[in-house]
Amino acid sequence: MPKIIAIDYGLKRCGIAETDNSQIIASALTTVETKEIFRFLDTYFSKNTANEIVLGEPKKLDTSDTHTSQPVRDFRKKLEEKYPDKKIHMMDERFTSKMAFQTMIDGGLSKKQRQNKAMVDQISATIILQSFLQSR
């Protein structure tokens, strides 16, 4: 079975997560600078079978757009153009950063380790992907 990947798109960095081959478990993969995301994806898709991408959709509590909503829509459009064979799903990403931070606290990471925003992005992507898997 092909893997599914998730992207927590940010203006500076993108957190990336992937499923196992059975599409049961979501795991943090890496964080990539946003300007390098397509280079990363090209390499990833050349080495892995993945036919679905889950993209975190930023929304405010009242479901209105945030300052990153339009850049995420633009990114989705580029994904669709560059990878027409991949199915793209949008998943609500509200609270994922807070949940990621709490996960870091619960995991016993030090205050200094919790300041690593790249790790927060990876964990957020994992939460987005796990939420998608549970919604199926």
Domain containing 15: what range? 3-135
What are the tokens at 94?
């509200």
How many independent structural domains does the chain possess? 1
| pTM: predicted TM-score of the whole model, two decimal places | 0.87
The fraction of the chain above a pLDDT of 70, given in percent, is 83
Rounded to the nearest integer, the mean pLDDT of the chain is 87
Distance separating alpha carbons of residues 107 and 96, to the nearest angstrom: 16
DSSP-derived letter for residue 15 is E
Q: Report which of residues 71 and 63 the model is more confident about.
A: 71
CATH of the domain at 13: 3.30.420.140
- The C-alpha atoms of residue 68 and residue 70 are separated, in whole angstroms, by 6
User: Please, are residues 30 and 41 in contact by the beta-carbon 8 Å criterion?
Assistant: no
